[in-house]
Amino acid sequence: MIGDGKHTIAELMDIVNEDPRRGVGHEKVLTKLELDRQAELLIEQAGFSADTVIKKDELFYLRSTANLSTGGTAIDLTDEVHPDNRAMAVRAVMAVGLDVGGVDFLTEDISQSYKDVGGAIVEVNAAPGFRMHVAPSKGEPRDVAGKVMDMLFPSNTPSRIPIAAITGTNGKTTTSRMLSHVLKTAGHTVGATSTDGVYIDGHLSVKGDMTGPMAARIVLRDPTVDVAVMETARGGIVRAGLGYSYTNVSACLNISSDHLGLGGVDTLEQLAEIKRVVVEVAEDVAILNADDQLCLKMADYTQAKKVCYVTMNPKHALVKEHIKQGGMAFVLEQGINGDMITIYDNGSHTPLLWTHLIPATIEGKAEHNVQNAMFAAALSYSMDIELDQIRHGLRTFDSTFFQAPGRMNQYDEHPFKVILDYGHNPAAIKVVSQTIDRFEISGRKICVLAAPGDRRDEDIRNMANEAAGHFDAYILKADDNRRGRQDREVALMLQEQLIAPGVTADQTQVVADEADAVDAALNMAAEGDLLLIFGDNIARCWKQIIGFNKDKQKPNQASSDNSVSNVITDGDSEMIESMQLIKDDRGVRLARAEEND
């Protein structure tokens, strides 16, 4: 404050505050002066009072520091800063590892080098204010914010990450995992949503069923992610939308009966209309199952630049016409050596990969995973992933508990084979049962079957119908969450429906509790049998499977060259370790445990 020999300190403050640029706090480019405790202390130390008249041209400080937020002023001297001082400020910011920093440089004359007149840096601020530069009290305004934005988001570089969205009734999770694996092996940091949780670069970030808009926002806000894979389910769309405004590529795998009668969705057509939203927001490519009529109809609603069809029928008339017109399609073609996934695009025909070379297809037996692999390949191809990288990704993705928990997980270390799957609707029960038919088994086929309690009675009965005739024995159970049903209600309904088409009563057994049912099935299985478990609590089921008869093993059995050491620690109570067979230097197969969460 500069005195004028006429006005008191209080009056001078009022005059200064009349400046329209001054406001309370940060509401304007300058802040109003206040006669607060710090000002009163400095006035008192000078022997003054608020009513003191300061001599003309006398400089008096109301603050011990110079800050805009406490009423200070800013004078732009950018063009006068000596190069030595500027270079030292830059070095200071770089030394502490900042991209943007504010340097408090004290010197008598900023236009002179600190080497000549002295000076010192007293602070490097990681979050500097722009107000003094954008709107200085005196001098030329500088667009500092614009420079920072240009540095963070350079022109002609992508400002958004690619998004792939996957919807449908069955296969969403497996396809999402396959695609994420392909993208990761191609060098990307993938953010993925799924029924298991949110995964960032392969690590579980948020556990739970995360297929809605909240999960999408978690992925899209993560600064490390450079590509997003969104498994998108009906429930999230109905409740709160997608969580993203558009995708680069979207896929609808299939439409079948699941969750009907819930949330106002009563028919397959209504279900398709909801899932169609994911296809409608695709900008570049919409990928549709040409073998599913409800998916096929979605082509009329997408605004994507391209439509890509996926078919397991090489004679599909519509797809053949689409290919003739230069369209994109992924077709399963039969050959002497097996089935080949082939790509048609803009008149070209490219063989991609034999299906029996994809571990998740179990040598081509799991046809539903063949289709999932075709969709994962189509999604990858539409995101400009090189063909060799797609091949490598598919060939290194398998159906182990580690990579795909609850999706055709096989365990072969008992005298009998065990397969664990999370099938929970008629279509899933059908494809898994058909896959089991393709296994050559010397013994019996045993099935542990359940149905979610919130499904319609007709859907529960249809699940029994799809399983009927494929197995020699059935153990019928309920999920942990009965969802409004009585303890044995679902199991008894399944039993009744199984007996109707010809399954005998002595082929069925009701054990309502899942853990007890799995234990009963494991004890029932004999050498050469195949046991299929449709599980609900997948982690617990897997732990039961790999821990079965563990106490009966000989103490030195783990050291045998032909044995497998099943590592289960005491702390792994709820979420089982993922088991991945590896070999040590001696060729002994060991089971490595990695906690799933």
CATH of the domain at 189: 3.40.1190.10
Q: State whether 226 and 148 are in the same domain.
A: no
Residue-range definition of the domain harbouring residue 101? 75-159
In our burial notation (b when 16+ CB lie closer than 10 A, e otherwise), range 146-175 reads eeeeeeeeeeeeeeebbbbbbbbbbbbbbb
Determine the angle formed by the axes of helices 426-437 and 457-467, rounding to 10 degrees: 0
Q: The whole model's pTM is what?
A: 0.68
Residue 61 lies in a domain: yes
pLDDT at 589: 32
pLDDT at residue number 235: 75
Residues 541, 423, single domain; the answer is yes
pLDDT of residue 279: 94
With respect to residue 557, please indicate whether it lies within any of the assigned structural domains: no
**200 and 294 share a domain?**
yes
Tell me whether residue 154 is in a domain: yes
Contacts of 206 (CB under 8 A, 6+ apart): 197, 198, 215, 218
Alpha-carbon distance of 222 to 209, in angstroms, equals 19
Of the three residues 360, 395, 430, the one that is the final residue of a domain is: 395
* Domain-embedded: residue 485: yes
Q: Are residues 51 and 135 in the same domain?
A: no
- For residue 234, what pLDDT is reported? 75
Other residues' Cβ atoms within 10 Å of the Cβ of residue 424? 21
Same domain, 254 and 194: yes
The residue from 137, 159, 181 where one domain ends is 159
From residue 392, give the alpha-carbon distance in Å to each of 115, 152, 156, 386, 398. 60, 34, 31, 10, 12
Consecutive sets of 10 residues in the chain, 597 residues long: mean pLDDT of each?
Answer: 81 81 71 76 82 82 65 80 93 92 91 92 89 80 89 79 92 92 95 90 85 89 92 80 90 83 78 91 95 93 94 94 95 88 94 93 89 96 96 92 86 93 88 91 94 87 91 92 88 90 88 92 94 92 90 46 35 34 32 30
Q: Are 390 and 383 in contact (CB under 8 A)?
A: no
* Contact between 446 and 475 (Cβ < 8 Å): yes
Same-domain check for residues 202 and 341: yes
Contact 380/180 with Cβ under 8 angstroms?
no
Q: What is the DSSP letter of 556?
A: T
How many folded domains does the chain comprise? 4
**Among candidate residues 159, 194, 215, the one where a domain is terminated:** 159
